[in-house]
Structures are given as C-alpha cells and as structure tokens.
C-alpha cells in the first residue's frame, strides 16, 4: 500500500456539531432487491436535515466503460451540485429513487457544502472495506480515527464515506491549504483511494453505520 503522508499532513481533525443518533449499526448485506439503499430510517444521523432541500435521488448509469451515480430531482430531470433550485428533501428523493428504472444501484444522497455558519464535508475512502469480514484497511482506519466523526458503508459495500462539519467562514483557509476549490484526492496508481470534498458534489447516503465510529457528525 502506498504511503499517504500527503493526505495525513493535509487533513486536520475538524470540530463537530451534534446531529441525531443513528439507529442501525449493522454492516450492509448486498442483495438483489437493493431495499437497504432506499430505506429511510427514522433515527438516521441526518434526521434533522431530512426536511431541508439538500437531497437528491441517484442511479448508476454507464458512461463509456465506467459506471457513475447520476443525480435526479425527478424521474425526468437531473439535479446539480451548482444549482440549489434542483435540490429536494430526503422524502422526495426517496420517492424519486424508488421510481427510477435501473439495472444497477440507486438511492438517495445529500449535497455537501452549505450556506449557513456550518457546512458539511465528506471523505470518500475507496476499496477499503470487506463486507464479509467487516474489516477496514489500516490506511483508511487511520483517516477515520483522525476525524472521529460519523462514517458509513458506501453503496458498493466496499468503501466508506466519512461526514464532518466545518465552519463556513474557514472555507478560504481550507481551500488555500488544499490548493483547490472543492476536492483534494490522493491516489494509488489510477485508482483514487482518498478523496476529500468540501462541497461541489453529493454523497450517496446508505445509513449503514460504520462500526466503531461516532453516531454523530
């Protein structure tokens, strides 16, 4: 495994603000009906954000030789990270996701960033989780431990997404430290292993709490 010293030096442990407790501690079980992706659990860590227009439905689609998660505000129209008018509530996103035709994965997601005093950011840790053994790669566990915030299993069942809050007023200082506007990624070969996002995109939400991480952002 490559040395992620660059990621370690760039990532600083953020302060967090409390959200609702998460009910489900079970790691996801991959199955054919995909029901666990669409279920909205009442005790989700994102419960206090459910009624705010921060959400989107999504489905996997083929883009060339790759699959990508395309965001939708309705069955017929897409949503966009740079157009808040296309963002919807979690309930609406769940309804749209259930109606979307798909031969792959689909579900709901939340847009990162914010316009208030506190914004939400996320870290995508790819190919780091074994759903059978429930083991996490050591390099990914180091990032999770450093942030000490809520993390969940990704829709693929092989990655982990970590959510954390930051003071919106610090955005320019963070951008200067990252030398980029929204995203800083550290990769091994052609595969991105660690990607830090301050905004400008959405994260798929599964509510599948990553064990041994906090129940709050």
pTM of the model: 0.80
SS3 content of the chain, % helix, strand, coil (to 5): 20, 30, 45
54-97 pLDDT, tens digit each: 999 999 999 888 899 999 999 999 999 999 999 999 999 999 99
Q: What is the pLDDT of residue 161?
A: 97
Using a 10 angstrom Cβ sphere, with 0-12 exposed, 13-18 middle and 19 or more buried, the burial of residue 87 is: buried
pLDDT at res. 130 = 93
**pLDDT tier at 20 (50, 70, 90 boundaries)?**
very low
pLDDT of residue 43: 52
Residue 181 has pLDDT above 70, yes or no: yes
In three-state secondary structure terms, 97 is helix
Query: Is the alpha carbon torsion for 66, 67, 68, 71 positive or negative?
Result: positive
Residue 14 pLDDT more than 80? no
pLDDT band at 190 (very low <50, low <70, confident <90, very high): low
Among the ranges given (26-30, 41-45, 162-166, 192-196), the one the predictor scored with the smallest mean pLDDT: 26-30
Which tokens is 168 given?
């919106």
């Amino acid at each position: 495994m490559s040395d992620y010293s660059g990621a370690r030096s760039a990532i600083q442990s953020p302060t967090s603000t409390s959200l609702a407790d998460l009910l489900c501690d079970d790691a996801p079980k991959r199955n054919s009906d995909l029901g666990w992706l669409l279920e909205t659990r009442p005790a989700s860590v994102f419960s206090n954000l459910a009624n705010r227009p921060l959400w989107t439905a999504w489905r996997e689609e083929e883009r060339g030789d790759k699959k990508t998660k395309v965001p939708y505000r309705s069955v017929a129209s897409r949503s966009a990270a740079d157009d808040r008018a296309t963002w919807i509530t979690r309930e609406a996103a769940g309804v749209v996701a259930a109606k979307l035709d798909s031969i792959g994965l689909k579900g709901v997601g939340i847009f990162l960033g914010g316009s208030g005093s506190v914004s939400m950011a996320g870290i995508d840790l790819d190919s780091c989780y074994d759903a059978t053994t429930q083991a996490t790669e050591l390099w990914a566990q180091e990032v999770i431990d450093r942030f000490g915030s809520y993390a969940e299993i990704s829709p693929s069942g092989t990655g982990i997404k970590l959510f954390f809050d930051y003071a919106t007023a610090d955005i320019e200082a963070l951008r200067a430290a990252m030398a980029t506007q929204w995203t800083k990624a550290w990769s091994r070969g052609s595969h991105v292993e660690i990607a830090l996002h301050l905004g400008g995109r959405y994260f798929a939400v599964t509510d599948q709490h990553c064990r041994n991480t906090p129940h709050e952002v």
